[in-house]
C-alpha cells in the first residue's frame, strides 16, 4: 500500500494526497474528505521513515511550558505543535511548574533529545547571559521577553505583547468610564514576571490620569492560579478601602475574581467593573462575559515556530516580534454611576 494507491483510489494526484496527509490548508474540504475516506478504507499508514533517513540530524523541536495549568497556553501549544508538524519536525513537550527553572529544563531536554531548537512558553523576564549559556541551540521566548534581564537583543528571540502598554490600555478603559478607585489583582509587584510588567502599566495609567496609587488596592496573590486569585479578591473585599473597578492581570484569575466578587455580594458590573488581559475561551462564558484584551494565541505560536525554524534552517538570526491584543467588550465593565 503506497500513497499512489490512495491517489488512484480517491482520484486525485499524489501531491494532493500528500498535502492532505500533511494538513496543508490549501485543499478543499471536499477533496480532503475524499482522500481521508480512501486512506481509511485502504487502511493506509503514511510512512515517513524515508524522509527521516534522508535528514541526517535530529528533527526535534522542544517546547517547555512553564505553568502547567494555565489555560491561556492551550491554544498556543496546539498552534506550535501544528506548525512544527507541518514543517516536518517533531515536537517534544515538557511541562514544568511556575516555581521550576525553564532554562534548566530546556537545556536538559536539548541534550537528552538532541533538540534543534527550543521554544519556551512562559518564563522569567530576567535572564542573564550566564544563565542562557547552557543553551547552545536557538531558542524563542513565547509570550514573554527579557524586560528585566541583561541579554543582548541578538542573543535570543521573542514573541510577545507589550505587557506594560496593554495593561495601561486596560486600566485606561476603566478610567474612561469614570472609575478612579481601581484595584489590581496580580501575582506580585516585583517578581520580574508578566505580573510586574502589567503592574507597571497599571501604575502608569493611574499616574497619567492623576490618580494616586493606593497600596491597599494592590492585591498580591503570590501565585497565578485560580484558588489564589479567589483568595486575593476576598482579601481585597475584607479590607475597608472602597473600589469600583478591578484590573486583573490574567483571564483565568479574573474568572476566579468574579466568583469572589459575587460571593462577597458585589454585582458585576453594577457594583464593580472588571477587566483582564489574555482572552481564553472560558471567559466568554462567565456571567457577564469578561471584558478583556485578547492575545492572539494562535499566531503567537505560529510566529514562534517561524522564527525558530528560520534560525534552525539558517535563513535568519534572532528577532523579536511584538503582537497586539484585541479588545473583547464583554459585559463586565460599566460607567461609574
Least distance to a second copy, CB of residue 255, Å: 5
CA-wise closest residue to 214 among 190, 180, 257: 180
* Cβ 225 to a second copy shortest distance, Å: 8
Q: How far is the CB of 325 from a second copy (least distance, A)?
A: 20
User: From CA 62, how far away is CA 301, in angstroms rounded?
Assistant: 13
What is the rounded CA–CA span in Å between residue 245 and residue 169?
14
Judged by beta carbon, residue 84 or residue 308, the one nearer a second copy is: 84
Q: Which is nearer to a second copy, 69 or 178 (CB)?
A: 69
Nearer to a second copy, 208 or 281 (CB): 281
Looking at beta carbons only, is 31 or 336 nearer to a second copy? 31
Q: Residue 20 has which C-alpha cell? A: 492532505
Report the nearest approach of a second copy to the CB of residue 262 (Å).
Answer: 5
- Residue 55 C-beta: closest distance to a second copy, Å: 11
In angstroms, the CA 84 to CA 60 distance is 9
Do residues 22 and 86 touch, judged by C-beta distance below 8 A? yes
Nearer to a second copy, 49 or 152 (CB): 49
Residues in contact with a second copy by CB under 8 A are 21, 36, 39-40, 43, 45-49, 51-52, 68-69, 71, 74-75, 77-78, 81-82, 85, 90-95, 101, 104, 107-108, 111-113, 130-131, 133-134, 226, 230, 252, 255-256, 258-259, 262, 281-282, 284-287, 289
CB 270, min distance to a second copy, A: 15
Could you give the strand order of the β-sheet that contains 291-294, starting from the edge strand earlier in sequence? 218-220, 182-186, 245-248, 273-278, 291-294, 326-328
- Cell reading at 3: 500513497
Give which of 155, 168, 72 is closest to 121, Cα–Cα.
Answer: 72
Q: How far is the CB of 257 from a second copy (least distance, A)?
A: 9
**Rounded Cα gap, residues 36 and 317, in angstroms:** 39
Minimum CB distance to a second copy smaller for 133 or for 326: 133
Q: How far apart are CA 153 and CA 291, in angstroms?
A: 34
Compare residues 21 and 175 and give the one whose CB is closer to a second copy. 21
Q: Is the dihedral of CA 124, 125, 126, 127 positive or negative?
A: positive
Please give the Cα distance from 188 to 220 (Å, whole number).
5
Amino acid at each position: 500500500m503506497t500513497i499512489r494507491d490512495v491517489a488512484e483510489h480517491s482520484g486525485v494526484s499524489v501531491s494532493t494526497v500528500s498535502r492532505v496527509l500533511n494538513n496543508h490548508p490549501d485543499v478543499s474540504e471536499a477533496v480532503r474528505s475524499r482522500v481521508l475516506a480512501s486512506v481509511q478504507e485502504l487502511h493506509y499508514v503514511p510512512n515517513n521513515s524515508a524522509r527521516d533517513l534522508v535528514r541526517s540530524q535530529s528533527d526535534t523541536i522542544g517546547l517547555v511550558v512553564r505553568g502547567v495549568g494555565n489555560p491561556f497556553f492551550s491554544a498556543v501549544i496546539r498552534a506550535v505543535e501544528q506548525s512544527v508538524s507541518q514543517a516536518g519536525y517533531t515536537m517534544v513537550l515538557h511541562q514544568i511548574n511556575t516555581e521550576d527553572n525553564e532554562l534548566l529544563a530546556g537545556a536538559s531536554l536539548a541534550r537528552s533529545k538532541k533538540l534543534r531548537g527550543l521554544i519556551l512558553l512562559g518564563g522569567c523576564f530576567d535572564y542573564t547571559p550566564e544563565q542562557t549559556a547552557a543553551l547552545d541551540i536557538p531558542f524563542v521566548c513565547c509570550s514573554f521577553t527579557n524586560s528585566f534581564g541583561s541579554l543582548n537583543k541578538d542573543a535570543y528571540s521573542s514573541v510577545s505583547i507589550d505587557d506594560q502598554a496593554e495593561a495601561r490600555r486596560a486600566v485606561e478603559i476603566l478610567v474612561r468610564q469614570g472609575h478612579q478607585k481601581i484595584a489590581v489583582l496580580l501575582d506580585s509587584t516585583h517578581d520580574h514576571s508578566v505580573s510586574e510588567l502589567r503592574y507597571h502599566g497599571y501604575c502608569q495609567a493611574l499616574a497619567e490620569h492623576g490618580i494616586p496609587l493606593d497600596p491597599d488596592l494592590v492585591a498580591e496573590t503570590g501565585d497565578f492560579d485560580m484558588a489564589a486569585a479567589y483568595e486575593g479578591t476576598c482579601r481585597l473585599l475584607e479590607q475597608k478601602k472602597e473600589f469600583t473597578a478591578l484590573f486583573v492581570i490574567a483571564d483565568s484569575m479574573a474568572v476566579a475574581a468574579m466568583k469572589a466578587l459575587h460571593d462577597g455580594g458585589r454585582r458585576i458590573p453594577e457594583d464593580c467593573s472588571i477587566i483582564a488581559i489574555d482572552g481564553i475561551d472560558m471567559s466568554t462564558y462567565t456571567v457577564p462575559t469578561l471584558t478583556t484584551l485578547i492575545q492572539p494565541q494562535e499566531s503567537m505560536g505560529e510566529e514562534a515556530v517561524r522564527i525558530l525554524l528560520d534560525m534552525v534552517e539558517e535563513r535568519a538570526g534572532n528577532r523579536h516580534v511584538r503582537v497586539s491584543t484585541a479588545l473583547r467588550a464583554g459585559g463586565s465593565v460599566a460607567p461609574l454611576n
